[in-house]
Homo-oligomer: A and B are copies of this chain.
């Protein structure tokens, strides 16, 4: 076993790392062509939280669970909170949903009909109420709003209405709550999206105030976009609120983070690290937003948080003094080598040992496979309706 030099210096930061899991990652998901089910899939928010807690139990990396309203709506959120805490996790970000009601066919916060905007705003008010019950601090807004055909609606009028709607929601925040506005290049709208890029999210949240931030979903960019540059820029501008981690080869594929381009994940985390995003008190929060269409969900989530952890370790191992020196000398190959040296360092053995030292399984994937838990769930969760994006 080889422990990289300086590994001991980074364990404090690693110990602080927390990656929020999305409840919906444990339900079924798919494409417009088909959603495949698997035995053991949760039927209720409680079961989703139990699955998330299992991931945290085995990795120590995922102490909070994000909820999606109405997918995770329950009568008693206080009870849901207690359920989560009993299992060792907390309820985290509340994600609003204004894309699955017939009223939202032509928009929600941007809709030309004031009654539909009212309904969408009120939905966010309800989310804020839920946050009071769950102790969540972040309200995350991702909008499906957009159009499919040139001319279908006024880009400008929609943007202005968006600003007004967001302002009304922002005004309802209390001092401990934050509004986080996600952007997305395309889908489900195919001509224009009302918040398509970081610039639009930045312009909108800057107009709101100090508690409004941008959420960067790593799958929501045009082909070829240098995402770590955006990370740097939003950190510089003080507006990077959170990440939705996943990976993609083509569009918003929502694959396991680090699966499609591990080097990109490394570069992103290097930028986060050097920009202060891993410091104590940083406003940057880490979440997953993924779909496990063909793979098992619980180990899919375990794999995901481990990927983030492993790449964070590599990013922290970058020899920054050597990097700055090579950069200042315009030693292009040397500076690149410093970065690549950290990327190619195999941190897995050291991480395994460190996990064991903290009472966690050295190999969480193997621990889960050996536990028989998947089989147990498949036997227990018989009947009912498996959770998915519809409910």
B-contacting residues of A (Cβ < 8 Å)? 1-2, 29-37, 99-100, 102, 105-106, 112, 144, 147-156, 159-160, 185-188, 190-193, 196-200, 202-203, 221-226, 228-230, 232-233, 235-237, 248-251, 253, 255-256, 259-264, 267, 271, 274-275, 293-296, 299-300, 303, 310, 323-324, 326-328, 330, 332-333, 335-340, 343-346, 348, 365, 389
Contact = CB atoms under 8 A, between A and B. Distances in A.
19 contacts: A31-B32, A36-B105, A37-B102, A148-B295, A150-B336, A151-B323, A154-B274, A155-B271, A156-B271, A159-B236, A186-B249, A186-B250, A187-B251, A197-B198, A198-B199, A224-B249, A250-B251, A261-B263, A333-B365
A261 B259 contact: no
A191 B30 CA distance: 14
A73 to B, nearest CB: 17
Nearest first, the 6 closest Cβ-Cβ pairs linking A and B are: A199-B199, A222-B222, A151-B339, A31-B188, A190-B253, A295-B332
Contacts of A37: 102
A15 to B, nearest CB: 22
A109 to B, nearest CB: 16
Nearest to A151: B339
A95 to B, nearest CB: 13
Contacts of A198: 197, 199
B250 A149 contact: no
Contacts of A222: 221-225
A232 to B, nearest CB: 4
Contacts of A293: 148, 188
Interface-central residue, A1, A29, A144, A263, by most chain B CB under 10 Å: A263
Nearest to A203: B237
Interface-central residue, A193, A259, A274, by most chain B CB under 10 Å: A259
A250 B187 contact: yes
A211 to B, nearest CB: 20
Contacts of A343: 262
A327 B29 CA distance: 22
Contacts of A250: 185-187, 190, 224, 251
B150 A259 contact: yes
Given A156-B236, A186-B224, A389-B33, A348 B344 contact: yes
A390 to B, nearest CB: 9
Contact of A30 (B30, B188, B225, B236): B188
Nearest to A226: B192
Nearest to A233: B200
Contacts of A223: 222-224
A198 B202 CA distance: 11
Nearest to A231: B155
Nearest to A250: B186
Contact of A188 (B34, B156, B199, B323): B34
B34 A100 contact: yes
A300 B333 contact: yes
Nearest to A347: B344
Interface-central residue, A2, A33, A106, A155, by most chain B CB under 10 Å: A155
Given A295-B148, A328-B112, A100 B33 contact: yes
A192 to B, nearest CB: 5
A336 B259 contact: yes
A219 to B, nearest CB: 10
A124 B389 CA distance: 32
